[in-house]
Structure 1
């Protein structure tokens, strides 16, 4: 239900997968949602699902690694939906390869989208949160932050986001802003399907092999992650900050 106090959320990489599930969940929780994605037309499907259910949403095209594009996107959200008080840095890409095969472009692309993108979006949104005396920042890390063969770039970026998160919590806490990270394990998305294809496995077989090593004996789905993100963005999580929550179906070292 739309209210004058309705909080505005930005979710990056929200055209599909975890980002789309998160946008839909936050909208169901009563947020107005900016569906940010590199391709604005791709984000419109998620935005239309929200509006069809009676919510408020806006699809915004933005390369999160481009400072000018980020500034313009956040300004547009503030003008059309309202000042953002919730930010979910979910945009991500894979450029997997073993270290000796990994190109500089593979490394830079992953760092630019995950780390630079989270930095730019957070920097652009934090003033709105400070002005409101309320903010919720959730960064998407990954179980790969603990190390994963063929993902030196991705693992480094996801580990970096954990340090970024903890620093945001320290710097911004006095303004009523919390910062937390959600680190998914195996989640069935287009991204994990691409990984299966890269290693030459049928996706169903790939998921079954993964499920066999997960204590709850299933792989995750985007809604599993969206639920954790929704908790961190709510009023009830105001005394939880600087944390990393692994959503992986069991404990991780």
Structure 2
């Protein structure tokens, strides 16, 4: 039995590569999907593609860091599709100002004439941007859309963590810390909502090629960068993930097959988080 059919699904960051694929999958299962994105045209493009395949979808402009924007989006979703049954918090990302130039600190870098960002040069505003986008950008949509679930004592929230929440990656302390916060928040919210029929879980993708990280992991020629090679060497399945690799776990978490599962973060990373490097 398809337990997702006719459910209203809200996906933040829905204009991106990974979340648009998730939106299309859930719409294909009969869900009514609201694609929320900071850029209205991106959201509507995804929704249009779903409608052309016979699915139900709307594109909605929303800023996950602005409560007024989310309230407006909530009103639009309720009017056009109905109250939210499933919330997927897909909005997130990193920022160069929260990233060091090198994986390891070298005292000589303090005297270097190169344009380097050491730990001591990290911009607090860049760190704050990354934490806000990932953590606050997950918390606020939960505050707005989970109110629909509380009134009916039923609902599902799926957050997007990362495998670097388990073990932080070099160079990106802000992003690693922010995703660890999402895993922790997932546990907290799962307990908090446990008496009102709302399940809260998270998916932790490993390395997936997206527009955000493509230049970090691949050269113009398509060959892997040094960091890309390191990642593949430490991924037992020896490849990057594809958006489709997320769909089985997503469908399971959104359906009744996971009815007794709440508060977990599931790695989808080809074994990266399980590998010691030896």
> Which residue does 1:49 correspond to in 2?
49
> Which residue does 1:149 correspond to in 2?
170
The partner residue of 2:224 within 205, 212, 219 is: 205
Unaligned stretches of 5+ residues in structure 1: none
SS at match of 2:14: coil
Q: Is the aligned partner of 1:234 residue 2:255?
A: yes
Unaligned stretches of 5+ residues in structure 2: 101-118
The alpha-carbon deviation at position 120 of structure 1 amounts to: 0.5
> Which residue does 1:252 correspond to in 2?
273
Within 1, Cα distance between the matches of 2:168 and 2:183? 13
Q: Is the aligned partner of 1:169 residue 2:184?
A: no
Q: How large is the Cα RMSD of the aligned pairs? A: 1.9
Judging changes above 3 Å, is the alpha-carbon distance between structure 1 residues 94 and 181 closer, same or farther for their aligned structure 2 residues?
A: same
> Which residue does 1:109 correspond to in 2?
129
The alpha-carbon deviation at position 228 of structure 1 amounts to: 1.5
Within 1, Cα distance between the matches of 2:154 and 2:221? 45
Contact 2:235 2:272 in 1 (8 A): no
SS at match of 2:244: helix
> Which residue does 1:139 correspond to in 2?
159
Judging changes above 3 Å, is the alpha-carbon distance between structure 1 residues 57 and 167 closer, same or farther for their aligned structure 2 residues?
A: same
> Which residue does 1:214 correspond to in 2?
235
The alpha-carbon deviation at position 141 of structure 1 amounts to: 0.5
SS at match of 1:228: helix
> Which residue does 2:86 correspond to in 1?
86
TM-score by length of 1: 0.92
SS at match of 2:213: helix
The alpha-carbon deviation at position 201 of structure 1 amounts to: 7.6
> Which residue does 2:9 correspond to in 1?
9
SS at match of 1:57: strand
Q: How many residues are paired up?
A: 248
Of residues 69-78 and 177-186 in structure 1, the stretch that sits farther from structure 2 once superposed is: 69-78
Within 2, Cα distance between the matches of 1:204 and 1:76? 44
The alpha-carbon deviation at position 180 of structure 1 amounts to: 0.4
Contact 1:183 1:244 in 2 (8 A): yes
Judging changes above 3 Å, is the alpha-carbon distance between structure 1 residues 82 and 143 closer, same or farther for their aligned structure 2 residues?
A: same
Q: What per-residue deviation string (whole Å, max 9, x for no partner) do you get for residues 60-83 of structure 1? A: 111101111111111211111110
